[in-house]
Amino acid sequence: MRQQVQLQCREIDTIFTQTNPYVSSCPYALSQLLSNDYKGKISSVGSKGKSYMIKPEQLARLWRTNLECAARTLNKTEQRALRDWTRVHGYRRFRPTQLQLRYPRGNCEIYCDIKFGPCRSLEGNTCLAVYATRFQWAKANPLTEERNVHHSLSYLFRDVGFPNALIPDSAISLTRGDFKKVASKAQVPIYPLELFNPNQSTAEDMIREGTRLYQRFMTGRHIPKLLWYRVFINCLEIRSHMALGHPMQNGECGTTIIQGCTADISHLLDFSMYDWC
């Protein structure tokens, strides 16, 4: 009986201590990387801050460059959604996609705020999630309720990309809950504003200027109040395509700066707001 137990223990030991066949069959350079002792979870993916999973010596060997250039490269660049190959087995599988790598990253901060409408709109919307930058670009997404603001953040990432940071006011819907989860999942930090100073938010400025243009359209075109959200979204889009001579625009318009190419205004030239064709 003891011999049988010992044989079973030996079989279990051999099952768990045998080498990974995928590691032994891979090329020499990859096997060297896999054999190094890194700290991390099995099949983990992360990019919290600067990650030096790859050392300068390894980068210099992989890229065929000198050690000083490799050290400077790791100091001035970042590594997102790193894949940890230290203890990968044949039955393990990485996630096919990562949110933080799905869209490009911009080089600007985006301010966000909530604008409430005068009434419930024709489609049941009560407020707008407004996103704005310092170079006079703004975008608004309709919301049926304020708590659904995280959906507009996903639309922003899809249309524009990931900003350097999000700067909301002290509203709970913009600093906690699902909004914070979506931003953290995309590796976009949320920076606070100084307390009792809402004028520091660029979103407040864009809402004010958009409201002035909104009132001109509503009174001049006799637009029903049920269409308030469509008029305001159109006003922000028009203002984003204006070359306002702002110091941070450098003679361009906000859409050109955030897109990186010349903005197209052909879709805004055929009709004015609430034109009958």
Question: Cβ of 9: how many Cβ atoms within 10 Å?
Answer: 10
Under a CB-based contact definition with an 8 Å cutoff, are residues 217 and 231 in contact?
Answer: yes
Which amino acid, residue 236? L
Looking at the structure, tell me whether residues 48 and 143 fall in a common domain: no
- 218 within a domain of the structure (yes/no): yes
Between CA 107 and CA 135 the distance in angstroms is 12
- 275 within a domain of the structure (yes/no): no
Looking at the structure, tell me whether residues 193 and 158 fall in a common domain: yes
CATH number at 231 reads: 3.30.420.10
- The pLDDT tens digits of the residues spanning 94-107 come to 655 566 677 778 88
Contacts of 74 (CB under 8 A, 6+ apart): 52, 54, 56, 59
Looking at the whole model, is its pTM more than 0.75? no
- 64 within a domain of the structure (yes/no): yes
- 102 within a domain of the structure (yes/no): no
Looking at the structure, tell me whether residues 34 and 134 fall in a common domain: no
Looking at the structure, tell me whether residues 90 and 185 fall in a common domain: no
Looking at the structure, tell me whether residues 21 and 130 fall in a common domain: no
- 274 within a domain of the structure (yes/no): no
Provide the pLDDT for residue 83: 64
Looking at the structure, tell me whether residues 260 and 144 fall in a common domain: yes
Q: Of 186, 238, 212, 206, give the one whose Cα is nearest residue 130.
A: 206
- 103 within a domain of the structure (yes/no): no
Between CA 81 and CA 47 the distance in angstroms is 5
Looking at the structure, tell me whether residues 69 and 139 fall in a common domain: no
* Backbone torsion region of residue 64, taken as left when φ is above 0, otherwise alpha when ψ lies between -120 and 50, otherwise beta: left
Residue where a domain stops, chosen among 96, 119, 146 = 96
Looking at the structure, tell me whether residues 114 and 91 fall in a common domain: no
CA dist list (Å): 98 to 8, 85, 110, 145, 185: 42, 17, 22, 28, 9
Residue where a domain stops, chosen among 73, 96, 119 = 96
Between CA 214 and CA 229 the distance in angstroms is 10
Between CA 34 and CA 60 the distance in angstroms is 17
Looking at the structure, tell me whether residues 240 and 216 fall in a common domain: yes
- The pLDDT tens digits of the residues spanning 130-175 come to 999 999 999 999 999 999 999 999 999 989 989 999 999 888 999 9
Supply the range of the domain harboring residue 69: 2-96
Looking at the structure, tell me whether residues 145 and 88 fall in a common domain: no
User: What length does the chain have?
Assistant: 277
- 35 within a domain of the structure (yes/no): yes
Provide the pLDDT for residue 201: 81
Between CA 139 and CA 110 the distance in angstroms is 10
Phi, psi (5° rounding) for residue 96? Answer: -70, -30
Residue where a domain stops, chosen among 46, 70, 96 = 96
- The pLDDT tens digits of the residues spanning 35-53 come to 444 333 333 334 444 444 6
For the chain, how many structural domains are there in total?
Answer: 2
Contacts of 195 (CB under 8 A, 6+ apart): 170
Does the pLDDT at position 110 exceed 60? yes
Looking at the structure, tell me whether residues 64 and 157 fall in a common domain: no
Does the pLDDT at position 128 exceed 80? yes
Looking at the structure, tell me whether residues 46 and 183 fall in a common domain: no
- 193 within a domain of the structure (yes/no): yes
Between CA 206 and CA 132 the distance in angstroms is 7
Percent of the chain with pLDDT over 70: 71
